[in-house]
Amino acid sequence: MLRRASVLLGLAVLLSLLFPVGAVLKEGGIEPSALRLPGMDLAALCAVVALLPALLLARDAKLALRVPRWNAWIALLPLFSLLFILLHVSWSGELAGAWLRDAIAEGTLPLRVSEATVLRVAELAARLGVLVCLVGVLVNLESVPEEEPPMPQRRRKK
C-alpha cells in the first residue's frame, strides 16, 4: 500500500511537471506568481490535480502488481515528492525561508547566497529527484503476472 502510494505521488508530481501551466498562463497574459491560491502555489495545485491521471495510468499499467517489494528508488521517491510539495505549500515555504534566513544571518550555515537561491536549488533538486527516482522505479517494474486461461470443462456423457 505504501509502495503504491509513493509511486502514485511521484507519478502525479511528474505529470504536473510535464504540463507547462506556468508558461501557458504567461502566454495568456497572466503572471503565475500573481495568481494567489490559499495555502499553495500553482505547482502544488497541478500536482494535486494530476493525481487523477496518475491513478488512471497506474490502474491501466497494473502498477500495484508490478512494483517490486523494495527498491532504493521506491525509498527515495516519496522523499523527493514530499520535498517538492512542501516547497510549494505557502506555510512550509515561508518557514523554510525564515529558517534559512536566520541560519545564514547567524553564520551557522556558511553560505554566501540568499535563502531564495537555496530554496530554488532545493526545488530543482526535488524536481530532478522525482524524475530520476520515477524512471528508476519504472525501469525496475516486474512483468505483469499472466492470468491462467480457464480450464475447459468436460462434457458429461448422458
Longest dimension (CA), the chain: 94
Q: Is the pLDDT of residue 125 over 90?
A: yes
With beta carbons less than 8 A apart as the criterion, state whether 119 and 96 touch.
Answer: yes
Q: What average pLDDT is seen over the chain?
A: 81
- For 39, list phi and psi in degrees, rounded to 5: 95, -25
pLDDT-derived band of residue 103, with 50, 70 and 90 as boundaries? confident
Q: Which amino acid is at 148?
A: E
pLDDT-derived band of residue 59, with 50, 70 and 90 as boundaries? confident
> What is the pLDDT, as a whole number, of residue 36?
66
Q: Is the pLDDT of residue 13 over 80?
A: yes
With beta carbons less than 8 A apart as the criterion, state whether 46 and 12 touch.
Answer: no
> What is the pLDDT, as a whole number, of residue 145?
61
Cell for 70? 523494495
User: Where does residue 138 rank: exposed (0-12), middle (13-18), buried (19+ CB within 10 A)?
Assistant: middle
